[in-house]
Structure 1
Amino acid sequence: MAETMQVDVAILGAGPVGLSLALALADSHLSVALLDTFPAPRAAVPASAPERTIALSLGSSRILASLGVAAYLDDAAPITHIQVSQAGLSGVVRLDAGLLGESFLGQVVELDRVRAAIAHALPASTNLVQMATGPLQALQQHGDAVAVHSAKGVVRAQLLVGADGGQGGLAPLAGLARLGWDHNRYACIASVKTARAPAGIAYEHFLPSGPLAFLPFTEDRFSIVWSLTPSEAARLQTLDDAGFLDQLNRHLPPGLGRVVATGPRAQLPLGFQRLLARPDRRLALIGNAAQTLHPVAGQGFNLGLRDAVTLAAMLKAAAERGEDIGGPLLLSRYLASRRWDAVQVIGFTEGLNRLFSSDFLPLQLARAAGLAALERLPGLKRQLAARAAGLALPAASHTPALTPSGDRHALR
C-alpha cells in the first residue's frame, strides 16, 4: 500500500473478537479496515500444539447466532452441568441448565474454529478491507482522525479499535494506562481422554495451586486448564505422558473418571491486565486488549464479545444520527456501558481464584461449608447459573440490539 487508506473504523487485530466487531458492522454504511497484526505466527502454529479451546456462554452463543455464525458451530460440545469443588474437603456445588429452563449453559469449541467460523460468516462487502499488516510501527492521533503506520503503509480512521489482545504494539504507542499483576502461576493446557464420557459436565476443581478445569470437548475428551506454581510447572515439563497422567490422576475432581490418555501439552503464564484508553484519543479497546483475565470460569472471550457487539451497535446508532463515531461523547458512553460488566467479571474471576487458592485451614473449612450451603439454595444457584451462562448482566450492561437504532435488550 503506497498511499494512505482512509476509513471510518480501523480494527487492530483479526482474532475472534476483532472479527466479531467487523461482522457486527457489516450491515452498516461505515467503512472498516481489519488489520491483522499477527499473520505469520498464526500460520506457523505447529501440528503438535494442543487445541486451544474456549467456553462459549449461552449468551455468547445467542450473540453469534444473531451474527449468522451459529450454523458453523452447531456441533460444538454443550455444557449442561457445572460442578464446583475443592480438593481434600467435602462440599460440591452443581449448576445445571434446568435451573434456567435451558438445554445448555455453554459450549466448548476450539479457538481457531471460532475464528474461522466468524471469518467465514463475513459477507463479501465493499465496506470491509482486510490487511495483514504485522505489528504497528507508529501511531499518530489527531483531532479528527488517528493514523496507523505499519510495514504495509498508513491507515487513517475516525476511530481505532484495539482488538489485538494487548500484544500488537498498540499500548506503548498510545501511552495506555495499565493495571495488572503476575499471578505467579502457569496454565497447563491439553486435551485428555477419561474412562467415562464427559456427558456435558464441566468441572471446576480448586487445588492449593489454583483451579483445575475439565471442559467437555468431544464425545470422549475433555479440554483441561490446570493452574500450577512455577515449580510444579517445571516438574511437569520433565515428565512423559505416563508421568503426566499419573500426576493428573492424583488431583481429579469428585465423580470424574480416571484420565487414560493425553494429547500434546503446553504451558502459558497467567496474569491479569487491564488497559485504559482516554475517550478523547479516538481509541476504543475490546476483548483482551481491554482486559486479560485469569481463565477460571472461562469468561474472557464472552466478555470481549459483549464489548464488540456493544461498540458496534453504538457506532451504527451514532452514524445514523450523524455523530462523530470517534469523538469523546460516544467513547465515554461506550466506557460507561461496559464498566460494570467488566468490573463484575474481573472481581468474580480474581476473587474466586484468590479465595480458593488459600491453604489457610479455617478458610478451607469455611469454603467447604459455603459450598455445602450453596448447594441447598436453588435461588442463589439459579443466579450463579444465569451469570455463568451470560444471561444475567448488570443493568447498565445489557448488550444493545445489533440494529442502527441501538435499542438495548437482555439476552434472554
Structure 2
Amino acid sequence: MIDVLIAGGGYVGLSLAVSLKKAAPHLDVMVVDAAPEGVWTKDERASAVAAAAERMLDVLGVWQAIAPEAEPILRMVITDSKTADPVRPVFLTFEGGGEDNGGDGRPFAHMVPNTALVGALRRACDELGVSIRQSTVVELFKSGDHSVAVTLAGGETIEARLLVACDGVRSRLREAAGIKAVEFDYGQSGIVTTVEHERPHGGTAEEHFLPAGPFATLPLKNNRSSLVWTESTYDAERLVKEDDFIFEEELERRFGHKLGRLKVVGGRRAFPLGLTLARDFVAPRFALAGDAAHGIHPISGQGLNLGFKDVAALAETIVEADRLGLDIGSLAVLERYQTWRRFDTFRMGVTTDVLNRLFSNDIMPVRVVRDLGLGLVDRLPSLKKFFIRQAAGTPGRTDPRLLAGEPI
C-alpha cells in the first residue's frame, strides 16, 4: 500500500507530488497520468504564474530551471472598446513590481511556457523518487477503513491511504466519488495561440474587453505574445478552421498595429469556457485539487494559480497530519484543506462570472458604468494596491506557508 496516489500528471498533480516528497521524503507518492508518454513536450501554450506561485516553485527547487524561459509581466493595461473602434482608450493600468507584491521586488506574474513548467516538475519528481505511471484509473472503490483502492487501465489494483484527483475539469474521479458540482456553460470558447511581432512588448500584458469577450495578450520571450481570445463557441470554432490569411486578418483587427506586423507562430485551438465548482473538495480518503475542484473563466488569469493554492494547502495539511501521527486520509484531517480552499475558490468563481457577464456585452449603459468603475479604480491608489495584491496572490497570515516562500 502506498501513502498518496495522485491521478493526473499536469502542473497540479506534479507540484503536489514534489511538495509532499520535499517536506516528507518517507511518504510513498505515485502519480498516474492518462496522457501518452511525452505528450506534454508538444504543448505550445503558456501560463501566467503569479508571484506567490513563483515563491512556492522556488521553495520546491524548480523555479531556477524555469526562470530562463519565463517572461516577467511588468505592466498590465486594460481597455474597453468595440472591435472596430480606431482608438482604444486605456481605463486602467497596473505596474507589476514592488512592495505591493509581497515586498521582495518580484513582478506580480511571469508568463511561463507549459513545457518548461511541466518539464521542471517532472525532473524534480524523478530526483525525489516519485513514481509516474502512464495509465488511467478506471475504477474506484473503498477497500477498508484505512485505504482506498483503484483499478488501472491494465487491470492492476493499487491501494493508497489517500487518493487525490487532479484529472481536470471533467473529472471522472469526482463523479465516481459521488461529489456533485455546479456547472454552467458560457457559450464561449477561448482561442489560444502564439504570435510574433516586429516591436518589443516591453513586458506589458493587455486585456481588451470586447463585446464577444476579453482578448488578452501576454508577453513571451523573443518578441512573442501568448493570446487568449474569447469568442462565442460558434465563432471560435469557425475561426480556428479558417486559413491563415483570414485568421490573421481577424487577429489584427483585435490586436492592433502598435507592435508592428503580426505572424502566428503557434498552433491554434479553441477551449470551451464555463464555470465548474465542486460542492465538496473532500470525501473519506479522497481529495480534489486544481481543475477537478474548480474551473473558472480565464478573464482574471487565475486558473493556474488557484490550482497552486490548492497544492500548497493540501500538501501542508497532509504533511502536518503525518508529523502528528494522524491518518492523512481521514475526513477529519482533510476537512482542514476543504475549509482552507472552498470559500476562496467560490469567491474567485463568482468574481470571474460577474466580470465576464459585465464585460462580454455591448450594452451602452453597462459600458458607461463599467468604464466609470475602471477609471475610479485607476485613480484610487489603495484600491489599485488591493487588486495588485490579488493578482500577485500575495499571501495573508493564514495562507499556506509555501505561498509565502516558506518550506512546510
Question: If the length of structure 2 is used for normalisation, what is the TM-score?
Answer: 0.89
User: Per-residue deviation at 1:130?
Assistant: 2.4
Q: 1:61 to 1:103 in 2, by over 3 A?
A: closer
Counterpart residue identity of residue 136, structure 2: G
1:59 aligns with 2:52: yes
Candidates 23, 28, 31, aligned match of 1:32: 28
User: Per-residue deviation at 1:201?
Assistant: 0.5
1:71 aligns with 2:64: yes
User: Per-residue deviation at 1:257?
Assistant: 2.5
| Equivalent-residue separation in structure 1 for 2:192 and 2:200 (angstroms) | 19
SS in 1 for 2:255: coil
Counterpart residue identity of residue 9, structure 1: V
The Cα RMSD (Å) is 2.4
User: Partner residue of 1:291?
Assistant: 294
| Equivalent-residue separation in structure 2 for 1:52 and 1:278 (angstroms) | 28
SS in 2 for 1:205: strand
Q: 1:333 to 1:266 in 2, by over 3 A?
A: same
Q: 1:311 to 1:71 in 2, by over 3 A?
A: same
**Residues 340-365 of structure 1, C-alpha deviation per residue, up to 9 Å, x if partnerless?**
32123212222211111132210101
| Equivalent-residue separation in structure 2 for 1:352 and 1:256 (angstroms) | 27
1:322 aligns with 2:315: no
User: Partner residue of 1:19?
Assistant: 14
User: Per-residue deviation at 1:337?
Assistant: 0.9
User: Partner residue of 2:141?
Assistant: 139
Is the CA contact (8 Å cut-off) linking 1:37 and 1:168 kept in structure 2? Answer: no
Residues 346-365 of structure 1 correspond to what in structure 2 (within 5 A)?
346-365=349-368
| Equivalent-residue separation in structure 2 for 1:67 and 1:136 (angstroms) | 31
User: Per-residue deviation at 1:134?
Assistant: 2.0
Q: 1:409 to 1:245 in 2, by over 3 A?
A: closer
Q: 1:278 to 1:145 in 2, by over 3 A?
A: farther
1:83 aligns with 2:77: yes
| Equivalent-residue separation in structure 2 for 1:190 and 1:381 (angstroms) | 30
Is the CA contact (8 Å cut-off) linking 2:73 and 2:108 kept in structure 1? Answer: yes
User: Partner residue of 1:400?
Assistant: 401
Residues 128-167 of structure 1 correspond to what in structure 2 (within 5 A)?
128-140=130-142, 142-152=144-154, 153-167=156-170
User: Per-residue deviation at 1:367?
Assistant: 1.1
User: Partner residue of 2:183?
Assistant: 180
**Residues 76-115 of structure 1, C-alpha deviation per residue, up to 9 Å, x if partnerless?**
1110111111114645210012462634111111112211
Counterpart residue identity of residue 243, structure 2: D
| Equivalent-residue separation in structure 2 for 1:346 and 1:131 (angstroms) | 32
Aligned length: 394
Counterpart residue identity of residue 399, structure 1: P
Residues 32-51 of structure 1 correspond to what in structure 2 (within 5 A)?
32-40=28-36, 43-44=38-39, 51=44
Q: 1:321 to 1:91 in 2, by over 3 A?
A: same
Counterpart residue identity of residue 59, structure 1: A
User: Per-residue deviation at 1:380?
Assistant: 0.8
SS in 2 for 1:251: helix
| Equivalent-residue separation in structure 2 for 1:29 and 1:221 (angstroms) | 40
User: Partner residue of 1:379?
Assistant: 382
| Equivalent-residue separation in structure 2 for 1:103 and 1:369 (angstroms) | 30
Q: Which stretch of the first structure deviates more once superposed, 108-117 or 84-93?
A: 84-93
User: Partner residue of 1:405?
Assistant: none
Q: 1:238 to 1:133 in 2, by over 3 A?
A: closer
Is the CA contact (8 Å cut-off) linking 1:399 and 1:409 kept in structure 2? Answer: no
| Equivalent-residue separation in structure 2 for 1:142 and 1:260 (angstroms) | 59
SS in 1 for 2:191: strand
- Seq. identity, %: 31
Is the CA contact (8 Å cut-off) linking 1:202 and 1:213 kept in structure 2? Answer: yes
| Equivalent-residue separation in structure 1 for 2:151 and 2:333 (angstroms) | 25
**Residues 249-286 of structure 1, C-alpha deviation per residue, up to 9 Å, x if partnerless?**
22237x84245211221111111212244744211111
Residues 261-272 of structure 1 correspond to what in structure 2 (within 5 A)?
261-263=263-265, 264-272=267-275
Q: 1:338 to 1:154 in 2, by over 3 A?
A: same
| Equivalent-residue separation in structure 2 for 1:296 and 1:234 (angstroms) | 19
| Equivalent-residue separation in structure 2 for 1:401 and 1:107 (angstroms) | 18
User: Partner residue of 1:225?
Assistant: 228
SS in 1 for 2:21: coil
User: Per-residue deviation at 1:13?
Assistant: 1.0
SS in 2 for 1:190: strand
| Equivalent-residue separation in structure 2 for 1:259 and 1:389 (angstroms) | 31
Counterpart residue identity of residue 92, structure 1: F
| Equivalent-residue separation in structure 1 for 2:235 and 2:402 (angstroms) | 46
User: Partner residue of 1:9?
Assistant: 4
Structure 1 stretches lacking a partner, 5+ long: 1-5, 403-407
Q: 1:82 to 1:346 in 2, by over 3 A?
A: same
Counterpart residue identity of residue 81, structure 2: A
Is the CA contact (8 Å cut-off) linking 1:141 and 1:281 kept in structure 2? Answer: no
Q: 1:272 to 1:168 in 2, by over 3 A?
A: closer
User: Partner residue of 2:391?
Assistant: 388
